[in-house]
Amino acid sequence: MKVLKSQIIQDEITKECSQSFDFKFDGETKFTVPSFDMPEQFQIGLIVGASGSGKSSLLNQIGEIKNFDWDGNKAICSHFASSEEAQQKLNAVGLNSIPSWLKPYHVLSNGEKFRADLAIQLKDNAIIDEFTSVVDRNVAKSCSNAIQKYIRKENLQNIVFASCHYDIIEWLQPDWVFDTTTNRLTVGRGLVRPEIQLEILPCATEAWTIFSKHHYLSASINQSSWCWLVVWEGTIIGFTSIISYPSGTVKLAWREHRTVILPDFQGLGIGVKVSDAIGEMLKQWGRRFFSKTSHTRMGEYRNQSSKWRATAYNMMNRSKEYKKQLDKGKTLLSKKHIEKHADRICYCHEYIGEA
């Protein structure tokens, strides 16, 4: 173990403070940095322990802790090498709010700043200190879960986190954990992530005002929509709604309208599970349920899910769809609306449930 020393100049205040508590102090402080044999190959490692137990000092021995300087004149998404990288990494840390991607760093909430800082650091051999220290526990859990899924999906290697919170272990699923309080190394993912149990409760459209600013596309809502609140452990965390399917040929059908999970709870896969639950409910009622979205996370989930079936318009450029409607004289959309959305790629699916 390495011993660190610090020396200060004694004055009357330090003498009085130490004498008041019968603490012998000569101006020198010694601190023993804990050590362990870190595995050579891994994806996620976690150093955990109480504040002052040597986590940061230990990290400095493992590698360099790099802080990123955000340009206050640029959106956070503009700090990545490409749009694709920005989308992948910001989604990976559970920062799924597209309006937030387009804001400068200094106007983000603490939780959003925390996620943005993580996203910009995501690469092989990253060293990340004070992980989840400045955010509440819901953000900590959701972000830990989102980030471990991305690291494993992209096969990133040798990323070490340090945190004073033990409650993230089951969500981060590290390959090893070193506890600086007990000097104990545990290798292997032994804890299983807890199940998330949600309540979906009917509500009025007025509840949308809580969530409107977090929707990636529009703050408006159809006043004839059916709405529900999403509740986790007594806390309202999301909103979803549906409207009657605007078609003269498809009967007894509904379409997903607005679905939002509050930023602090993104990254847990709640949004797609909520839409699955609504689809299953409608199926039990003898109704059909359709979805059209340009949100990549939800769209890709449905592309891969056996519970959803792609329709003829899935992943089609909207300009082609609108042209077909115009040619048939069936569209009710204005030219301005068509021009605004023509370049967006949409994911279009119908919920069919399990076979």
Q: For residue 13, what are the contacts with CB-CB under 8 A and spacing of at least 6?
A: none
The string over 46-70, giving b where at least 16 C-beta atoms fall within 10 Å of a residue's C-beta and e elsewhere, is bbbbeeebbbbebbeeeeebeeeeb
Contact 202, 239 (CB under 8 A): no
DSSP letter at 188? S
First to last CA, the chain: 59
Please indicate whether the domains covering 36-187 and 198-351 agree at the CATH topology level: no
Predicted TM-score of the model (pTM): 0.65
pLDDT in tens, 237-272: 999 999 998 766 788 899 999 999 987 788 788 999
User: Can you identify the CATH homologous superfamily of domain 198-351?
Assistant: Gcn5-related N-acetyltransferase (GNAT) (3.40.630.30)
Contact 355, 283 (CB under 8 A): no
* Other beta carbons within 10 Å of 87: 17
Query: How far is residue 110's CA from residue 42's CA, in Å, rounded to a whole number?
Result: 30
Residue 290 in tokens:
């359709």
Residue spans of the domains in the chain: they are 1-33, 36-187, 198-351
The pLDDT score that the predictor gives to residue 73 is: 96
The pLDDT score that the predictor gives to residue 192 is: 65
Contact 222, 208 (CB under 8 A): no
Domain 36-187 has CATH 3.40.50.300: yes
Query: How far is residue 157's CA from residue 42's CA, in Å, rounded to a whole number?
Result: 6
The pLDDT score that the predictor gives to residue 228 is: 98
DSSP letters spanning 103-128: S-GGGS-HHHHHHHHHHHH-STT-EE
The pLDDT score that the predictor gives to residue 82 is: 94
The pLDDT score that the predictor gives to residue 234 is: 87
- In tens digits, what is the pLDDT along the chain, a chain of 355 residues? 566 678 888 888 988 888 888 888 888 877 677 778 899 899 999 999 887 778 888 888 888 888 899 999 999 999 999 999 999 899 888 788 888 899 999 999 888 898 899 999 999 999 998 888 777 787 788 889 889 999 999 999 999 999 988 888 989 999 999 998 888 899 987 666 677 889 999 999 999 999 988 886 677 899 999 999 999 888 899 999 999 987 667 888 999 999 999 877 887 889 999 999 999 999 999 999 999 988 888 899 999 999 999 998 898 766 665 566 655 555 545 555 555 555 667 899 999 998 7
The pLDDT score that the predictor gives to residue 188 is: 83
Contact 208, 240 (CB under 8 A): no
